[in-house]
């Protein structure tokens, strides 16, 4: 039968309730001549002609199929095995939603359970949830979780200045309107001791990023000292990070982190114009009841067969929302599936190989760029696959020259700080061949003047 969303009588009742006499009156702020404009559409085309035109228009885009990219800063281009897209394209996964009915959602629940298990293995922590919207919201939820673990009795969150600036902005957005003070802006870069000195009895968490926004790595010794300083005051340590180096270096759980968060896009998800992405989130078992989001658990049915179901999900998140510690009720399940398929396909040794390639290629490129006249590698500490280059002229001009040669340069750090107009954040991954790296070096040499 026909679906009638609203009767005329219902419409009039609603209009009367808001104090207007007609629907047109709702649009009085829109000038009359702009309410129903004539739209000059082109003549109709056949399917063949439409596809040809769309293809021509798509060729006008600058994309990574036609260009070499050295952008990173939180979103990374990695090789994705074909099996990942094959699995995520299956209709039972690509059309599924929140798996409340466990009896008809075993495939989705098991995939999510495996994703959680592998995130635990990567981070060295005991529990992981069914993901957040992206790395920034995962960090913000981690800060709020720490606040709730301490029962809201403490009010100071210390964030390292080497955390991604956009992540810091999201934390502040989440914390506004709450009795939370976010500190750390005035700390010098990479000064872990200064962060530790700020911790006191009113601190509920300290958050760092490793590798930092500039790609530099913190030593396990300094991070363990920061963890001890936080725990001595009863605060929690949160570590945000790019997941690929976790296959190569010690995980956050090994040096005392209570919460580990980050952007899992590099694990089998394409760049996708900036989203959708997926935030991973893991913590120690003792804090699981304060963890935002959902957890898929493994159990057995009445016949003893293995099964999966949503568990440890506070009902407030779905019903009494005003009392919830978080209102994250859904997640990027398809992105989590892609991450699980990617990690399964790559395996422990494959992930380690990817991390090693990212690391070695970045150091090769840094060495070659550092030898060019006018360029200087600003990064002075150990780094993973990103490093900062000081350029002989503004990065915007350098990148424009690179783009003419089909190369997307590094991030212009002038958009972060005005005094960094001559600094570029360069990233490499395993997809960069020796020829691509040498092409970047040659293009930078030509773009110097």
- Average pLDDT score over the chain: 92
Q: Are 259 and 148 in contact (CB under 8 A)?
A: no
Distance between start and end Cα atoms, the chain: 71
* Tokens found for residue 227: 């963890």
CA–CA gap between residue 19 and residue 258 (Å, rounded): 54
Q: Are 432 and 68 in contact (CB under 8 A)?
A: yes
CATH number at residue 206: 3.40.640.10
* Tokens found for residue 73: 């800063």
* Dihedral sign of CA atoms 416, 420, 424, 427 in order: negative
Task: Output the pLDDT for position 5.
Answer: 77
Q: Is the pLDDT of residue 117 over 70?
A: yes
In the chain, the number of structural domains is 2
pTM, full prediction: 0.89
Task: Output the pLDDT for position 321.
Answer: 67
Is the N-terminal amide bond of 211 cis, ω within 30° of 0? yes
112 lies in the same domain as 257: yes
Q: Is the pLDDT of residue 290 over 60?
A: yes
Task: Output the pLDDT for position 327.
Answer: 65
- Give me the DSSP letters along 220-283: HHHHHHHHHHHHHTT-EEEEE--SGGGGTS--GGGGT-SEEEEE-TTTT---GGG-S--EEEEE
CA–CA gap between residue 423 and residue 377 (Å, rounded): 9
Task: Output the pLDDT for position 242.
Answer: 96
Render pLDDT for 242-255 as a digit per residue (tens, 0 to 9).
999 999 999 999 99
* Residues with Cβ within 8 Å of residue 74, at least 6 apart in sequence: 135, 164, 166, 263
351 lies in the same domain as 300: no
Q: Is the pLDDT of residue 370 over 90?
A: yes
Share above pLDDT 70 across residues of the chain, in percent, rounded to a whole number: 95
Which whole number is the average pLDDT over 11-36?
91
From 343, 358, 374, the end of a domain falls on: 343
Q: Does residue 236 form part of some domain?
A: yes
Render pLDDT for 299-324 as a digit per residue (tens, 0 to 9).
998 899 999 998 876 655 666 667 77
Q: Is the pLDDT of residue 1 over 60?
A: no
Q: Does residue 54 form part of some domain?
A: no
Q: Does residue 58 form part of some domain?
A: no
| Helix-, strand-, coil-residue percentages of the chain, each rounded to 5 | 45, 15, 40
224 lies in the same domain as 206: yes
182 lies in the same domain as 260: yes
From 320, 343, 366, the end of a domain falls on: 343
CATH number at residue 403: 3.90.1150.10
Render pLDDT for 182-214 as a digit per residue (tens, 0 to 9).
998 876 677 889 999 999 999 999 999 999 999
> Which residue range is the domain that position 211 belongs to?
82-343
Q: Are 442 and 401 in contact (CB under 8 A)?
A: no
């Amino acid at each position: 039968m026909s679906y009638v969303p609203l009767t005329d009588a219902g419409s009039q009742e609603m209009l009367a309730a808001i104090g207007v006499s007609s629907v047109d009156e709702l649009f009085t702020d829109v000038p009359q001549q702009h309410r129903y404009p004539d739209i000059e559409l082109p003549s109709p085309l056949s399917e063949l002609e439409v596809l040809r035109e769309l293809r021509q228009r798509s060729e006008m885009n600058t994309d990574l199929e036609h260009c070499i990219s050295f952008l990173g800063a939180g979103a990374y281009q990695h090789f994705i095995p074909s099996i990942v897209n094959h699995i995520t394209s299956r209709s039972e996964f690509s059309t599924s939603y929140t798996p409340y009915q466990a009896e008809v959602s075993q495939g989705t629940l098991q995939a999510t359970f495996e994703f959680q298990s592998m995130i635990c293995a990567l981070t060295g922590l005991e529990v992981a949830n069914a993901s957040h919207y992206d790395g920034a919201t995962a960090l913000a939820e981690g800060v709020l979780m720490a606040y709730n673990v301490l029962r809201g009795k403490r009010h100071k969150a210390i964030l390292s200045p080497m955390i991604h600036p956009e992540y810091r902005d999201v934390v502040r957005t989440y914390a506004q309107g709450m009795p939370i003070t976010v500190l750390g802006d005035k700390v010098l870069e990479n000064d872990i001791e200064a962060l530790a000195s700020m911790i006191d009895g009113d601190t509920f968490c300290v958050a760092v990023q490793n590798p930092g926004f500039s790609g530099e790595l913190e030593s396990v010794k300094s991070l363990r000292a920061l963890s001890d300083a936080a725990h001595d005051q009863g605060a929690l340590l949160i570590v945000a990070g790019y997941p690929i180096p976790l296959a190569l270096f010690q995980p956050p759980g090994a040096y005392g982190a209570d919460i580990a968060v980050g952007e899992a896009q590099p694990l089998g998800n394409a760049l996708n114009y900036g989203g959708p992405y997926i935030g991973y989130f893991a913590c120690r078992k003792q804090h699981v009841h304060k963890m935002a989001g959902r957890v898929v658990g493994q159990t057995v049915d009445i016949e003893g067969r293995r099964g999966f179901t949503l568990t440890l999900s506070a009902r407030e998140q779905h019903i009494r929302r005003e009392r919830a510690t978080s209102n994250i009720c859904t997640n990027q399940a398809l992105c989590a599936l892609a991450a699980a398929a990617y990690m399964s396909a790559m395996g422990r040794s494959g992930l380690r190989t990817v991390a090693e390639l990212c690391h070695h290629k970045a150091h090769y490129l840094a060495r070659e760029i550092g030898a060019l006249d006018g360029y200087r590698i600003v990064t002075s500490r150990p780094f993973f696959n990103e490093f900062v280059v000081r350029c002989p002229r503004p990065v915007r001009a350098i990148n424009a020259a690179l783009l003419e040669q089909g190369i997307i340069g590094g991030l212009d750090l002038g958009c972060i700080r005005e005094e960094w107009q001559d600094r570029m954040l360069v990233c490499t991954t395993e997809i960069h061949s020796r020829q691509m790296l040498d092409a970047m070096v040659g293009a930078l040499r030509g773009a110097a003047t």
